[in-house]
Structures are given as C-alpha cells and as structure tokens.
Structure 1
Amino acid sequence: MRIEISDLRFETIIGVLDFERQEEQEIVVDLKIDYRYREGNFLDYAQIAQEVQEHLRSRRYELLEEALLGLESLLTARHPDIQRLECRITKPHILPHARVSVTREWTRG
C-alpha cells in the first residue's frame, strides 16, 4: 500500500542564514510511504503528519538535508512496516522567483 501526504504546510525554524534562525518560515512537506498492509494493521496518516510537524518544529534544523535524514530516522523507527519512503521539503518563499526543494528516497534493506 502507499500513503501520500501532499502539501503539508506549516511554519518552523529551518535554515543557516541569520534571519532563518530568528523567524519561522513556511515549509511544505510531501511524503510517499509504501508499507506492508495487513488486516487491522495500517498507518495513520494524521498521526504521521503530526509527527512530522512536531519533529521539524522541535529540532530546528539548519539544513534541509539534515531535516530529511531526521524524518527518515523518526518515521522508519516508529513505523517498522514502512518499506519505502520518499520525502521532499520545500521552502516556497526563500528565493523571490523560485521554490527550493530537497528530496530523499529510502528503501528498507
């Protein structure tokens, strides 16, 4: 099975520039999660969305790359049925005429 969470928007501290460390900025998170579904055993997409927001808000990463690695560790540890994970974090307002994104893909063993 696959869960897709698209366009999860919230504000957090993320970045290396001085103003990014002082003021929250909007980010957008997109997830594609392939997992082993068995009757009665499913992934709660609302819970995952909440975990992502709480993690990124509390950690205040400097680099998007570090944030993606942190999300991978968090989600695969809490949800061992995840077989494949694709995660993208976008900063929609960091450049005046472009959206900046970093993507990470992970596959179990």
Structure 2
Amino acid sequence: MKIEITDLTFKCIIGILDFERVKKQKVVINISFEYEYKKDYFIDYSEVSNLVKTIMKKKKFLLLEDALLIIQKKLNKTYKITKLKIKISNPDILKDCIVSLSC
C-alpha cells in the first residue's frame, strides 16, 4: 500500500532570523511512503499527519533541513515503512517563490 499526505498545511515557528523566532509561518508538508498492509496492521494517516504537526510545532526548528531529518527519523522509527519521501515548503518566506526541501 502507498499512503500520500498532500499539502498538510499549518503554522509553526521555523527559521533563524529574529522575526521568524516570534511569528509563526505557514509550512506545507507532503509525505508519501509504502507499507505492507495486513489484516491486523495498517497505518492511520491521520495519526501520521498529527505526529508531523506535533513535531514541527514542539521543536520550533531553526532550519528546514533539521525538520526534514527529524521527521524522517521519527516516521522510520515509528512505522514499518519503505520508500519514504518528504517535502517541506515555506511558501511565504520569499515574495517571488516557494522554498522547499525534500528527501
């Protein structure tokens, strides 16, 4: 099975500049991964979404890179998944583009 969580959007503290440490910014996260579905084992995508939001809001990352690596590590540790892909976007930090990181 493949789960895709697209455009998970919320606000959190992220960034290294002074104003980024006090004002929440919008982030957009896309996640996809595969897992082996069994009658007695499935992955609750709402749980995955809430876990990612909780990590982002609690940690208040300085860098998107750090956020990406921590989320990747936590999802791999928590669930039996393969082919994990994560993309974190900060759509409002620059006026003329959307900045994203992915792995």
TM-score of the alignment, normalized to the shorter chain, above 0.5: yes
Could you tell me the TM-score, scaled by structure 1's length?
A: 0.91
- Name structure 2 gaps, 5 residues minimum: none
After superposition, the C-alpha distances for 1:17-54 in whole angstroms (9 at most, x for unaligned) are 11111110000000011112222211100000000000
Identify the residue that residue 99 of structure 2 maps to in structure 1.
Answer: 100
**1:1-109 → structure 2 map (5 Å cutoff):** 1-79=1-79, 81-104=80-103
- Name structure 1 gaps, 5 residues minimum: 105-109
Q: 2:62, 2:98 → 1: CA distance? A: 18
Q: CA RMSD in A?
A: 0.7
Q: Percent identity?
A: 37
Please list every run of at least 4 consecutive aligned residues from structure 1 whose deviation after the TM superposition is greater than 6 angstroms.
none
Corresponding residue pairs, total: 103
